[in-house]
Amino acid sequence: MPEPVDDMYPDLLRTGLDRLEKLGVGRELLPLFAALDYFRRDLQSRQGVEGILDVTLQYLRGLDLFQTLALYRVNPEDRGFDLALCSPEADRDRIESTVQAQIQSGRFAVALREASALTFFDDGPGDGCARGVLHRLAVPGEVLGMFCGILRQELPPTNEIAFSLLSLLLGASSDAQATACESAKLSSQISTLSDLIPICAWCRRIRGDRGYWEKVEGFIRNQLATPLSHGICPDCQYQLLSGLGSSSGTPPPRLRN
């Protein structure tokens, strides 16, 4: 029998629809859902993480929440965060300074721990400072990047819904980025295996991309990240048992097919 549905999520859906009705935006639901559907299609149509981030930034601007938006990517070399896109581009220095300040204050680390919630912060001292938002880009078990946005001074009446849409857009973008990275990795592995692989005719070691000669097991493990197990093929087993039988004077046992 199928597992029962968690009642929490239907209730959340019902609550959200009630709020939309109170705000008088029920008629806009169909265009809103269509926009989300087209967003997912646009993500799938782009090649590589850069194209996915570009589409994401365009849709985030449509929320009309932010005066400045930025998307960061995790650098696989040092696991640091590199600024990938900023809108407007002229605010790049400002957003870099803002993010650095949030790293020092600990807000950035808080945002990294939050699975789907927004982390708000004040962009500067005083009562007149602008507010900002951090939201991580992640899939289960891996952080891919970070979103940072500086909010407008006046937010639309539907800002609560817009913040929920922000999480939906960033979640879909993260899934698309993870898929693109995995596809690129598989393509690289297939390309490597489809090329001529130099193998020593005497010791059977394989020369890798960096020019080092390594055992077959190491080459496969490094290229495919696939765990290996060792066994014995029927021919080698027969030769091994034949040798044992001849040395002991007894015939080798018969092998099962």
**Cis before 157 (ω within 30):** no
Burial class of 67 by CB neighbour count within 10 A (0 to 12, 13 to 18, 19+): middle
Hey, where are the domains in the chain? Answer: 11-188, 206-248
pLDDT, mean of each 10-residue run, the chain (257 residues): 51 64 66 82 88 93 93 92 95 94 93 86 71 93 94 83 89 92 73 68 77 77 69 77 59 50
Q: Supply the pLDDT for residue 169.
A: 92
In this prediction, residue 2 carries a pLDDT of 47
Residue ranges with strand state E in the chain: 66-74, 81-87, 119-123, 130-139, 142-151, 206-207, 213-214
Q: Specify the CATH number for 11-188; select among 1.10.760.10, 3.40.50.2300, 1.10.940.10, 3.30.450.80.
A: 3.30.450.80
β-bridge mates for residue 142, sequence order: 139
- What is the CB neighbour count within 10 angstroms for residue 229? 4
* H or E element at residue 242: helix 234-248
Predicted pLDDT at 71: 97
- How remote is the C-alpha of 141 from its chain's centroid? 9
The predicted pLDDT at position 220 comes to 72
Residues 28, 34, 36, 38, Cα dihedral to 10° = -150
DSSP lists the bridge partners of residue 119 as 134
SS3 (DSSP) at 190? helix
Burial 236-248 (b: 16+ CB within 10 A, else e): eeeeebeeeeeee
**Token pair 């650095």: residue:** 100
